[in-house]
Amino acid sequence: DQQVKQNSPSLSVQEGRISILNCDYTNSMFDYFLWYKKYPAEGPTFLISISSIKDKNEDGRFTVFLNKSAKHLSLHIVPSQPGDSAVYFCAAGGGTSGSRLTFGEGTQLTVNP
């Protein structure tokens, strides 16, 4: 049972344009959501997070939006840069999950110069 799903395995955008990565979850008990970025041959690194009491969190070029009623979150990157090319994982935690995080399958973002 995949509680966190990223339905797009890949996304390709032009440098300078907006990248939008999407994530859906099924467990309404989740109350904390995160995005991680992963480069080849490295471990995932934390990018940005959002608590369920908010619907938006911004950090520089990165903004995460949370729609609790739709159980959907998205990551916006504006403007996209070639160095943003990586695999992005959505993760959720909290509620009955305790300290564990449940990750999605990942989306490969490619930003073309």
Partner 1 sequence: DAGVIQSPRHEVTEMGQEVTLRCKPISGHDYLFWYRQTMMRGLELLIYFNNNVPIDDSGMPEDRFSAKMPNASFSTLKIQPSEPRDSAVYFCASSEQGLYGYTFGSGTRLTVV
Using CB under 8 A as the criterion, which residues of the chain lie in contact with partner 1 when the complex forms? 2, 6, 32, 34, 36, 41-46, 49, 89, 91, 93-94, 98-106
- Can you list the positions of beta strands (E) in 39-96? 45-51, 56-59, 62-67, 72-77, 86-93
CA dihedral (44, 73, 24, 2) positive or negative: positive
| Closer residue to partner 1 in complex, CB, 2/112 | 2
In angstroms, give the least distance from the CB of 93 to partner 1.
Answer: 5
Other CB atoms within 10 A of residue 60 CB: 8
In angstroms, give the least distance from the CB of 92 to partner 1.
Answer: 9
| Closer residue to partner 1 in complex, CB, 6/19 | 6
